[in-house]
């Protein structure tokens, strides 16, 4: 006899449902009976709504095949097919029966036609578009007194303004200054047009600023003659343009000083130089000869125990006559520096006309200028530098139609745009 545990199955009332608290365990070969039956092999339990009953799985018929419209026998045959008209499978208009009669083609309707097929019947009468032909036009007030909510006397007294009367729900006349209830400072005023000062000045405190923003903003002070300029002391730092002289001026030190124009700079036509070493007594001169034939010499004087010979257009030789193993400096004339210089050697940089000395400053050795720079100006418009690193000597000035170019260091250019006024 099996043992029924109270903590696993509980029956709370007569004929009530049995609740399995911990699950049911059916031993092997022990049947589960429902309504006194243990069911047949392969059956399953199915709810009947009020209990459980044994049920068998349905019988599944044999597999079918696809139906075939053209099949005349077998499982693929479609039974009771309807009899279709020819057009049902051909889709051809000619296979239709009882086709309607289509009338001959019509013509476009014509608003202006007065007879025939193009005539449009029952055309409406259209509005002319003239305001005077409108019906039910509103009454347009001719004056403010024609408005229904404005109550003004006739005639209207001078200096009368309108004020709202809440009690009457009307605009009524008012006088005096009572109509201005509040005055608020506009700290961001905007000009809708040109500002005419009408002989008055625009002034501000010591920290006031007039600022123009935008690429096309301009602040111009233009005068016809020098006598029209204001006090240079009062307007210190102001820039102005005078039409009669065609110059710009700046107020400085109590006077109006004219600013230089590009045409004030005399063009330097002496822009081509040749170089050579020439005999100068027992010494040698490094000579630059301009295109106008002006010579610019730098004389190298032979010191004690030094002689100079082999002087020619391409260079010269410095010899040391000192005893005790002393040496002498050499001078090389070339566009490029000597490959193995020693301290004290001289190099005439022929493409610049510069004399350099090989110098050791205690940390490193380098070629340094032995003479001050020669300032030059080249104002030929065809000689504008091709880039910021084009060949050039510090101090050169060039120009073209758009810019003025200044060489601020060797092979280093800056430019400023030219503008008309």
The SS3 call for residue 95 is helix
Q: Identify the pLDDT of residue 92.
A: 92
**Closest to 283 (Cα-Cα) out of 267, 268, 265, 303:** 303
CA 19 to chain centre: 78
Q: Identify the pLDDT of residue 78.
A: 86
CA 221 to chain centre: 34
List C-alpha distances in Å: 107 to 4, 115, 116, 301.
101, 12, 10, 115
Q: Identify the pLDDT of residue 378.
A: 46
The SS3 call for residue 87 is helix
Which residues in the chain land under pLDDT 50? 1-2, 6-8, 324-326, 375-378, 380-382
Question: String of b and e for 314-343 (b: at least 16 CB within 10 Å)?
Answer: ebbebeeeeeeeeebbbbbbeeeeeeebee
- Cβ within 8 Å of residue 228, ≥6 positions away: 242
In which element (H, E) is residue 141 found? none
Q: Identify the pLDDT of residue 178.
A: 56
- The DSSP symbol for 254 reads T
pTM for the whole thing?
A: 0.25
- The DSSP symbol for 197 reads -
The SS3 call for residue 228 is helix
Q: Identify the pLDDT of residue 188.
A: 80
Q: Identify the pLDDT of residue 169.
A: 83
Q: Identify the pLDDT of residue 1.
A: 40
Q: Identify the pLDDT of residue 18.
A: 66
- Is residue 413 a contact partner of residue 405, using CB atoms and an 8 Å limit? yes
Question: For tokens 């002393």, what's the residue?
Answer: 326
């Amino acid at each position: 006899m099996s043992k029924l545990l109270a903590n696993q199955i509980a029956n709370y009332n007569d004929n009530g449902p049995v609740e399995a608290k911990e699950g049911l365990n059916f031993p092997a070969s022990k049947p589960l009976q429902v309504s006194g039956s243990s069911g047949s092999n392969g059956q399953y339990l199915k709810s009947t709504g009020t209990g459980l009953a044994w049920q068998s799985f349905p019988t599944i018929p044999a597999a079918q095949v696809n139906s075939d419209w053209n099949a005349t026998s077998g499982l693929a045959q479609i039974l009771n097919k309807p009899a279709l008209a020819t057009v049902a499978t051909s889709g051809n208009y000619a296979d239709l029966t009882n086709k309607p009669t289509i009338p001959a083609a019509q013509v476009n309707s014509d608003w202006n036609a007065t007879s025939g097929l193009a005539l449009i019947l029952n055309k409406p009468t259209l509005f002319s578009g003239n305001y005077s032909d409108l019906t039910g036009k509103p009454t347009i007030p001719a004056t403010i007194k024609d408005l229904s909510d404005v109550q003004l006397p006739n005639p209207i007294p001078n200096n009368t303004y309108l004020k709202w009367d809440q009690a009457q729900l009307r605009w009524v006349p008012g006088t005096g200054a009572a109509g201005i209830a509040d005055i608020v400072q506009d700290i961001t005023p905007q000009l809708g047009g040109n500002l005419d000062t009408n002989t008055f000045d625009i002034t501000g405190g010591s920290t006031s600023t007039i600022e123009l923003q935008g690429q096309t903003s301009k602040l111009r002070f233009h005068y016809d003659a020098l006598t029209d300029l204001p006090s240079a002391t009062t307007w210190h730092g102001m820039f102005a343009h005078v039409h009669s002289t065609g110059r710009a001026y700046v107020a400085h030190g109590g006077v109006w000083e004219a600013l230089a124009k590009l045409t004030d700079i005399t063009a330097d036509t002496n822009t081509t130089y040749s170089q050579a070493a020439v005999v100068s007594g027992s010494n040698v001169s490094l000579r630059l000869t301009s295109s106008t034939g002006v010579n610019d010499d730098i004389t190298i004087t032979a010191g004690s125990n030094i002689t100079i010979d082999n002087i020619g257009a391409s260079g010269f030789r410095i010899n040391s006559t000192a005893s005790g193993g002393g040496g002498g400096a050499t001078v090389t004339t070339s566009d490029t520096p000597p490959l193995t210089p020693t301290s004290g050697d001289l190099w005439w940089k022929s493409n610049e006309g510069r004399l350099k000395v090989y110098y050791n400053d205690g940390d490193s050795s380098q070629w340094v200028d032995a003479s001050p720079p020669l300032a030059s100006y080249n104002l030929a418009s065809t000689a504008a530098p091709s880039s910021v690193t084009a060949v050039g000597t510090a101090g050169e000035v060039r120009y073209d139609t758009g810019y003025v170019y200044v060489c601020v260091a060797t092979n280093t250019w800056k430019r400023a745009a030219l503008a008309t006024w």
